[in-house]
Structure 1
């Protein structure tokens, strides 16, 4: 085992490390000057927690989905106007949206409605005029109107369907207001002029999409969905969303749910989006080459399982992001890489989530980013070769990081900081925040990161225990710059030589705790 002087010599030769390598804003510098920090060794027992238990995924299978399908009674199919239909109000409100369908359908907008029971596509094609829905080859169908699955009805796009094509030119899309099953099949947003997928060209251009409303269940299994979505509310790609507040107040629908398992989502505007959903399972999928996000659960969704997915090639933003009170969820065993910004983001007061055993690498910003989201646990993640920080924590307290590997990232292995967001375009009433950061780092390894293993900007508290802190690539020498610079020898002595836990916190906070 290396002694403290030998370890320091190795770090000096290899490049040293810093607890505050990033320049702080003026307000932060003033806070730093006002605080006096102490370094102590707390009891280790509270830090030795059990590995968290992950949800059992064995029940989320294709067979389990098939068992949920009720095929009787048979449903009926009608075509009628889109006006005055609850499931379509979001898509015909206002002159612009109404004009979209008038232009594409060349008349008063209509939609296909499935009501009363079970329908598959072979039944659908037999009951509709060919100008609205037709088969161009065995198992290949083209929809030239929106399709609405009404409350109490079931649409099954099954393995007899080689491909369902939704016409971009004629404004087709899918709305689930009942139950939707897509099993062993393919759905493609279709550009008739090109006789091929409606590949992304610009954010404002309509592309077909799939939306499931409040009170619904949606199951997508062993299937491929391609080229959905554009930049308009509820039209992002594949979405599971509660009704808008005014509609929900009147309809009182339960939160929607669903399973998306072992499927491919390609060239979507958002690979997945949800709003006020519950217990959604996103398991074993591939999200590749999507435009803005791969997976994006949003406002007040909870109990989500996001596991065993591959998310890569997102062109504009993050691979996976949960944002605005997405709580009590599990994100584990995912591979997230080569995305334009961060690999995985926890954002806007999303709390009590477990982020575990993910492989997050080669993303163009941070590996894992935690913004204004306290009380989250990161366990056993492998965060390697991201261009900025391995793990970045901003304005978030009680972030517990156990057994993570943060290696060869461009800046810092773990970077914690505060930032005043009052002068940004953030809605403070909707998304409040505190300029405080605190964390526990237990076990794991921080090695070969460009600016050092660990940087903390004006922390409320930091606890370190059993952490391998190895050298960065920059040759700046060993240094705890900033408020902790004068205590670096004590920190290294406790953590490395004595192998004890280290607690770094302000004197002011200790006084508050004693009071």
Structure 2
């Protein structure tokens, strides 16, 4: 009992760092429902939502005198501007600090700092602390109860009514330290030199960190083992895998109808890694195999999640919600046979560089809901079994997909979806995907630049219900349908979307500048259903039976002429009856 009290008090005290306040200028306040009607806010400002009310706040400064100068400046245009004292955590760093020019920002990255050997040297091998305890699952109420109920049958079949989690309190530990401290092969079994089977879930508290270094860590499928954490996790030169003890392998998945893969309660739960609020993760030069399933709370494989669920009463869960979004660095890893290779929900400042992700069941890379400040660069992504190689979905913003090689995926090679805006797709090689090379769906204000996109089964580039898409200096050739297709599509009947929470605009506009189209099967460019277009300084070579198809087919001669001069603009006009 004493441990539980100390443990909880430490978490609360540690979270105080995230509760520090700052001074800000508040320009306006309004009901949250009106936030989506705002088209422009001043640079350096953002919309802060608290319950049913929102406001525009600018800056987050420690010194009162510094913010007073800002207030005087904003008063010139916003007479009702006021000073407020607010929590730092309310300011989303991905919105505050994203570079104005993502291309310039990316080209200035010093990649020598991301050398695997240098990163390994930077990870501390120093261990300390002796706060390892076995805590019954029902006393860890601040963790996702959904995950625990999903594993209940697994635990029961293993003869564990409700398991005791391996809980790490203040300190830094490695797997051998856990093994020796617990000293129970029914919980952690050492099966060979530097090889362990974990038979209970592990929770790393906010005050703790776990180092998995130069070991093989087998998370037992039959015992419902997984790792979740508010603290830090470092995986270096290691293998972390799901494990079928009877068959001595990672435990190949049961065969499923592909149409049911994203349904709840259709899959046997499997081990996973889940970084929660305030966590920081480094995975360097490691193999991650067989993790994840479709559960309700970040169970997909390697996942990083900050919950957006509203909590009414003030308890420990609410304290955790105030911690910053999870962050991570993944370099030089091989990630395969997971449900999703990589997933985020409401995470920030994550770098994935030089990894190989392949043969994952759904997506290889899937940053999701409200994540930002991501760099997905110099990775190899192939053979996503039932979906896309790299996808940003549902308001992933201010992020970069660059210099990746993406091929042979079931869906599109690269995709932006569901209001994922202000992102850069740059210098990638996307080829031989079963759908499109690059797809932008319901996501405006994105740039597709300097990519090589070829031999994809459908279109090289597909733009749907998205505006202000700039496509520049790409090589687009030998795609199975069109080099590029720009269309407006009514998707109101799509049953998998809630359009009240996830609205879209039936409007599409794209600019094509200095691209090279060659030998695409149907046409270089197709325009459909009232989409708008600007086309300038592009070159076209042997593109199908048509240079242009759809609504612009009849304008071919005019397009070719203006393409070499001031550019061709097309805006669909509805004929009056």
Same topology, TM > 0.5: yes
In the aligned structure 1, how far is the partner of 2:554 from the partner of 2:174? 71
In the aligned structure 1, how far is the partner of 2:206 from the partner of 2:244? 30
* Residue among 218, 223, 236 paired with 1:170: 223
In the aligned structure 2, how far is the partner of 1:418 from the partner of 1:133? 56
Q: Which has the higher contact order (CA 8 A, sep 6+)?
A: 1
In the aligned structure 2, how far is the partner of 1:479 from the partner of 1:79? 68
Q: Give a deviation string over 1:443-473, Cα, whole Å, max 9, x none.
A: 1211111110000114453111111122234
In the aligned structure 1, how far is the partner of 2:502 from the partner of 2:565? 40
- Of 138-147 and 73-82, the range deviating more from structure 2: 73-82
Displacement of 1:281 in angstroms is 0.7
**CA distance 1:126–1:344, change in 2 (3 Å):** same
Corresponding residue number in structure 2 for 1:502: 568
Corresponding residue number in structure 2 for 1:457: 528
Corresponding residue number in structure 1 for 2:167: 113
**Secondary structure at the counterpart of residue 293 of structure 1:** coil
**CA distance 1:175–1:479, change in 2 (3 Å):** closer
- In the alignment, structure 1 segments of 5+ residues that lack a partner are 1-48, 509-515
In the aligned structure 1, how far is the partner of 2:181 from the partner of 2:355? 34
Corresponding residue number in structure 1 for 2:561: 493
**CA distance 1:238–1:51, change in 2 (3 Å):** closer
Q: Give a deviation string over 1:37-86, Cα, whole Å, max 9, x none.
A: xxxxxxxxxxxx99644151333344346435373542421112111314
Displacement of 1:485 in angstroms is 4.2
Corresponding residue number in structure 2 for 1:186: 239
Matched, 1:246 2:246: no
Displacement of 1:175 in angstroms is 1.1
Q: Indicate if the aligned counterparts of 1:219 and 1:259 stay in contact, CA closer than 8 A.
A: yes
In the aligned structure 1, how far is the partner of 2:273 from the partner of 2:308? 17
In the aligned structure 2, how far is the partner of 1:114 from the partner of 1:91? 22
TM-score, structure 2 as length reference? 0.75
Corresponding residue number in structure 1 for 2:70: none
**CA distance 1:492–1:74, change in 2 (3 Å):** same
Corresponding residue number in structure 1 for 2:189: 134
Displacement of 1:147 in angstroms is 1.2
* Residue among 139, 145, 162 paired with 1:84: 139
TM-score, structure 1 as length reference? 0.83
Corresponding residue number in structure 2 for 1:359: 429
**CA distance 1:111–1:278, change in 2 (3 Å):** same
In the aligned structure 2, how far is the partner of 1:240 from the partner of 1:97? 20
5 Å matches for 1:292-331?
A: 292-331=362-401
RMSD: 2.2
Q: Indicate if the aligned counterparts of 1:214 and 1:241 stay in contact, CA closer than 8 A.
A: yes
Q: Indicate if the aligned counterparts of 2:488 and 2:531 stay in contact, CA closer than 8 A.
A: no
Displacement of 1:113 in angstroms is 1.0
Corresponding residue number in structure 1 for 2:355: 285
Corresponding residue number in structure 2 for 1:445: 516
Q: Give a deviation string over 1:177-198, Cα, whole Å, max 9, x none.
A: 2000001111111100101112
5 Å matches for 1:360-509?
A: 360-425=430-495, 426-473=497-544, 476=545, 478=546, 480=548, 482-495=550-563, 498-506=564-572
**Secondary structure at the counterpart of residue 155 of structure 1:** strand
Q: Indicate if the aligned counterparts of 1:75 and 1:153 stay in contact, CA closer than 8 A.
A: no
Q: Give a deviation string over 1:10-41, Cα, whole Å, max 9, x none.
A: xxxxxxxxxxxxxxxxxxxxxxxxxxxxxxxx
* Residue among 196, 219, 222 paired with 2:282: 219
Matched, 1:340 2:410: yes
Displacement of 1:230 in angstroms is 1.1
**Secondary structure at the counterpart of residue 112 of structure 2:** coil
Q: Give a deviation string over 1:147-178, Cα, whole Å, max 9, x none.
A: 1111110100012x2x1111111111111220
Corresponding residue number in structure 2 for 1:153: 208
Q: Indicate if the aligned counterparts of 1:357 and 1:381 stay in contact, CA closer than 8 A.
A: yes
